[in-house]
Amino acid sequence: MTVDKRVKQWWKHGVVYQIYPASFCDSNGDGIGDLPGITSKLDYLKDLGVDIIWVCPMYDSPQVDMGYDISNYEDVYRPYGTVEDMETLIRETHDRGMRVMLDLVINHTSDQHEWFKESRKSKDNPKRDWYIWKPARYSATGERLPPNNWRGNFGGGSVWKWDEQTQEYYLHLFAEEQPDLNWEKEEVRKAIYETSMEFWLKRGVDGFRVDTVNMYSKPPDYPDAPIIDPGAKYQPAGPLYCNGPRMHEFLDEMNAILSKYGAITVGELPNTPDMSKVLRYVSAEAKQLDMVFQFDVVDVGHGITHPLDGRPGNFTLPELKAAVERTQTLIRGTDAWTTVFFENHDQARSVSRFADDSPRHREASAKMLALMQACMSGTQYVYQGQEIGLVNAPKDSYPLENYLDLNSYLFIDMVKERYGADNAAEIDKAFDGLQYLARDHSRIPMSWNGKGKYGGFSDVAEAAGVEVKEPWMKPHPLASQINVAAQQGDPNSVLSYWKKMLAFRREHAELTVYGDYTTLRMDDEDLHLFLKEGHGPAAGSKALVVLNFTTKEKEWAVPSTEELGLPAGPEVKLEQIAATHDGKREAGEALAPLEGRVYLVKF
* Of the candidates 185, 283, 207, 176, the residue with the CA atom closest to the CA atom of residue 16: 207
Phi, psi angle pair for 223, to nearest 5°: -70, 160
Beta-carbon count within 10 A of 159 CB = 26
Q: Which stretches of 270-404 are assigned E, i.e. beta strand?
A: 291-294, 339-340, 379-383
Strand order in the sheet with 168-171: 133-134, 168-171, 160-163
* Of the candidates 180, 172, 135, the residue with the CA atom closest to the CA atom of residue 151: 172
- Decide if 268 is catalytic: yes
Contacts (Cβ under 8 Å, ≥6 apart) of 496:
487, 490
Which conformational region is residue 239 in: left (phi greater than 0), alpha (psi within -120 to 50 degrees), or beta?
A: alpha
Which secondary structure element, helix H or strand E, spans residue 395, and what is its range?
none
Beta-carbon count within 10 A of 382 CB = 25
Number of H helices, E strands in the chain: 21, 20
The pairing of strands 207-210 and 264-269 is parallel
Alpha-carbon dihedral angle through residues 11, 371, 528, 280, given to the nearest 10 degrees: -10
Q: Is residue 345 within 8 Å of residue 22, measured between CB atoms?
A: no
Angle 17-22-28 (CA atoms, 0-180°, nearest 5)?
110
* Of the candidates 35, 42, 41, the residue with the CA atom closest to the CA atom of residue 98: 42
Q: Is residue 550 within 8 Å of residue 594, measured between CB atoms?
A: yes
Q: Is residue 128 within 8 Å of residue 119, measured between CB atoms?
A: yes
Q: Is residue 284 within 8 Å of residue 3, measured between CB atoms?
A: yes
CA–CA dist 390, 440 (Å, integer): 13
Beta-carbon count within 10 A of 488 CB = 15
- For residue 274, give the DSSP letter: -
Contacts (Cβ under 8 Å, ≥6 apart) of 150:
158, 159, 160, 173, 222, 224, 225, 234, 235, 237, 240, 241
First-to-last CA distance in the chain?
39
Which long-range contacts (C-beta less than 8 Å, at least 24 apart) are formed by 197-202?
197/104, 197/254, 197/257, 197/258, 198/257, 199/73, 199/74, 200/102, 201/257, 201/258, 201/261, 201/263
Phi, psi angle pair for 594, to nearest 5°: 55, 35
DSSP bridge pairs for 547: 528, 596
**Residue of 87, 92, 211, 299 with catalytic role:** 211
* Of the candidates 179, 171, 56, 193, the residue with the CA atom closest to the CA atom of residue 109: 179
CA–CA dist 600, 603 (Å, integer): 10
**Residue of 111, 177, 180, 268 with catalytic role:** 268
Task: Catalogue the active-site residues.
Answer: 211, 268
